[in-house]
Amino acid sequence: MPVAIYPGSFDPLTNGHLSLIQRGLQMFDRLIVAIAVNPKKTPLFTLEERRELIREACPEERVEVDAFQGLLVDYAKQRRVNVLLRGLRAVSDFEYEFQLANMNRKLAPGIETVFMMTGEDYFYISSQLVREVASLGGDVAGLVPDNVLAKLQAKFARKP
């Protein structure tokens, strides 16, 4: 299959996302990692920071990093891509992802969502948990790529 869009907030990129990207690259010729911009939310990392962190952690030419606002299906149509890649961690993800995939299919019947699971080492990792643990001074080494770890440590460094 030629191209898929892997959308998400990536605030920040975790090893769970990376595992999905690596698996996705075995199935698709190219992946567009699409950062969802939500003007109503204040992310921990700016769009530019998120973009750069993903770019550094995924130097493969077959990975493109982009951003979009508004409906994912509109973005997919604009990019002329009809496959969306999403990850499933646990049963808890299923309900939301099921709703989302069906809503997207209703909005754009030609666009399919493909689900992949991460390796068992990564299934419990979420960006939100990583942000919370890092903000409280917990060690998130091994859960995020090294460049993200360094950025998190810089952001939450204790002021003397």
Catalytic annotation, residues: 17, 41, 89, 127
Look at residues 24, 26, 42 and name the one whose alpha carbon lies nearest to residue 34: 24
Q: Which of 3, 52, 123, 147 binds ligand ADP (CB under 6 A)?
A: 123
Residue type (1 letter), 46:
T
Q: Which of 16, 24, 43, 145 binds ligand ADP (CB under 6 A)?
A: 16
CB of 68 to ligand ADP, least distance (A): 12
Under the binding rule (CB under 6 A), the answer on residue 17 touching ligand ADP is yes
Segment lying near ligand ADP (by CB under 6 A), choices 26-34, 43-51, 63-71, 120-128:
120-128
Under the binding rule (CB under 6 A), the answer on residue 113 touching ligand ADP is no
Beta bridge partners of 154: none
Are the CB atoms for 116 and 85 separated by under 8 Å? yes
Segment lying near ligand ADP (by CB under 6 A), choices 46-54, 76-84, 121-129, 151-159:
121-129
Could you tell me the sign of the dihedral formed by the alpha carbons of 114, 23, 71, 44, in that order? positive
Look at residues 89, 79, 55, 61 and name the one whose alpha carbon lies nearest to residue 5: 79
DSSP summary character for residue 47? H
Per CB under 6 A, which of residues 70..89 are in contact with ligand ADP?
Answer: 86-87, 89
Per CB under 6 A, which of residues 124..143 are in contact with ligand ADP?
Answer: 125-127
Beta bridge partners of 119: none
Question: How far does the chain reach from its first CA to its final CA, in angstroms?
Answer: 53
Beta bridge partners of 7: 34
Per-residue tokens: 44? 């921990």
CB of 85 to ligand ADP, least distance (A): 8
Residue ranges in contact with ligand ADP by CB under 6 A: 8-10, 14, 16-17, 20, 86-87, 89, 93, 118, 122-123, 125-127
